Each structure stands twice: as C-alpha cells, then as structure tokens.
Amino acid sequence: KKTDAKKVKKIISSYVEKAVHIHSLPARSAKNKANGAPPQEKKPAAKKAKTVVNNIASLVNGSDPRSFVRKRIAKDFDSKTFYGTIMEYDDTEKPAYWHVEYDDGDEEDYSKKDLIKALKYYEIKGKNDTNKSNKKS
C-alpha cells in the first residue's frame, strides 16, 4: 500500500508541475496561434487607485483629532441627508468625542467610528451641501 501511495503522490506531483507550467506560459489567441504568431506576455493588471473615501479612516487615525474641528460632515436620517459642522473635540471624557452641530439646529456627539462614517458620507454627498462655505463660528 505504501508503494501505491508513493505512485499516486508522484503522479499528482507531475500533474501539478505541468499545470503550473501551462499557466505560466504566455497567452495567445486562436487566430495568432493559427498564424504562428509567438505568445504574448500578459501585462500585470493595473493597480486600483486609492480613493479619498478609502483614506479617510487612515487620515482620522493618523491626525491630530482637533484638526477636524470646523470640517463639514453628512449623515443619513430616514433616507434624507443632513449636513453639519464639527464644532469641538473633547478628550476630557473617555472615550473622547467630536461635537457636531447640524444645519437644522440639532446636535450630536460622534465617536471616532461615527466621525469616519460621516466624513466618508460627506465625500459622497458633499457636492449637494448648500452651506459648505458657511462653516459655523
């Protein structure tokens, strides 16, 4: 039985080596193959550009928390977008929070997770913000 297992292992290994070799060969179309054209090397796929939205979490985690004061945010309430301004950062309590005042007068305290979500949402919806130059004092 050990001999049979060794034979099976050797056969499988041979197939794997062949499969790896075949997949590493350059590709060519059936038309080029018929014309005797040499195989074309595949170009590596282009890397996707990182978007601002994907970098917001890194920005929040790597910046002075107070640097977000006066920044605009957006939040969805019942399928309607509301805009607000980050008014202050308070680290006297744990966990620390950012205080937001919405344009309609409501207020809310944001955790880091809430802040990241609201900044990302603003990147998407901010173009519709009619008060974007009206940052509260």
- Res 79: pLDDT: 92
Does residue 46 surpass a pLDDT of 80?
no
Beta bridge partners of 100: 86, 108
When pLDDT is averaged across residues 16-20 and rounded to a whole number, the result is 57
Query: At 24, which amino acid appears?
Result: S
Write the CB contacts of 109 (distance below 8 Å, at least 6 apart in sequence): 90, 97, 98, 99, 100
When pLDDT is averaged across residues 37-53 and rounded to a whole number, the result is 57
- Is the N-terminal amide bond of 95 cis, ω within 30° of 0? yes
- Res 49: pLDDT: 44
| pLDDT tier at 34, thresholds 50, 70, 90 | low
Distance CA 23, CA 81 (A): 50
pTM: 0.59
